[in-house]
Amino acid sequence: MTFAATILTLYPEMFPGPLGISLAGRALEEGKWSCDPVHIRDFAADKHRTVDDTPAGGGAGMVLRCDVLAAAIDHAAQSHPGNPIIALTPRGKPLTQARVRDLAQGPGVTLLCGRFEGFDERIFAREYGGRSIEEVSVGDIVLSGGEPAALMLLDACIRLLPGVMGAASSGVEESFESGLLEYPHYTRPAEWEGRAIPEVLRSGDHAKIAAWRKQQAEDDTRLRRPDLWERHIGVRVQSASGARYEKKDEGQ
Ligand code: SAH
């Protein structure tokens, strides 16, 4: 099955862009996913093909018009009735690996890329082929447009499509898949600038190696991402006993 990506954008020439090379590029050639950039401007109704206007209430920049956007989204919703519709916006729900995995298991995705100050809010109050728009953010940063965010989301989905990644297991141990950051990696040379590869990794003892990696993943997550660690502990306590995560575990 081909994972169908439709991207609504003012810069269709940005796609597939970096997704046309390496792993994603090969997968595109093999038909494992399809890339269909749609120019939002094609849905402008006036002779100047206007897509934006000044913000109501005043202020800097321009806002993408709801009538033009809705026409573009309706078109995509009709072409791909099974695809979730996602608008990239810093006001959206932060993207997670769990959502990426869900999307990758589906038929594809329709992505709406903003520019300027963003979208007229009224597009989110409406349904398109029975579906409402999901608002997604790729981090607490402000990009100049939704296109890099769309590329990021697609890259994360494409690598999970069946047959795209070399070793079937390499997606499973990755950061976030277990709710933890991944353990650190090492390779040759065995010693570099006076620093040796941790002895345990050269021991050949697979059980010991697995235990070391688990410990590293837990320690690194606790130190680097206390937010993830708290959630991980919470989930574990909940699933083991049905109890909720208790605050006294915080910061351990
Ligand atoms: N005025 C808006 C930012 C607009 S940035 C605000 O302050 O919220 C222009 C466009 O870039 C947005 O419409 C969106 O599509 C995209 N964009 C910027 N930052 C993003 C982020 N963190 N995640 C997803 N899309 C983003």
Is 155 near ligand 1, meaning CB less than 6 Å away? Answer: no
In a domain, 84, yes or no: yes
pLDDT in tens, 73-129: 999 999 999 999 999 999 999 999 999 999 999 999 999 999 999 999 999 999 999
In a domain, 248, yes or no: no
Distance CA 169, CA 116 (A): 41
In a domain, 102, yes or no: yes
Is 141 near ligand 1, meaning CB less than 6 Å away? Answer: yes
If you average pLDDT over every residue of the chain, what do you get? 93
Residue 241 has pLDDT above 90, yes or no: no
| CATH number, domain containing residue 17 | 3.40.1280.10
Which range has the worst mean pLDDT, 183-192, 211-220, 242-251?
242-251
In a domain, 183, yes or no: yes
In a domain, 122, yes or no: yes
In a domain, 251, yes or no: no
In a domain, 197, yes or no: yes
Average pLDDT over residues 203-222: 98
Average pLDDT over residues 9-36: 98
Which ligand 1 atom lies nearest to the CA of residue 142? 19
Tell me the residue range of the domain where 40 lies. Answer: 1-239
Q: Where are the alpha helices (DSSP H) in 80-161?
A: 97-104, 147-158
pLDDT of residue 114: 98
In a domain, 246, yes or no: no
Report how many domains make up the chain. Answer: 1
Q: pLDDT-derived band of residue 171, with 50, 70 and 90 as boundaries? A: low
Residue 238 has pLDDT above 70, yes or no: no
For 168, left (φ over 0), alpha (ψ -120 to 50), or beta?
alpha
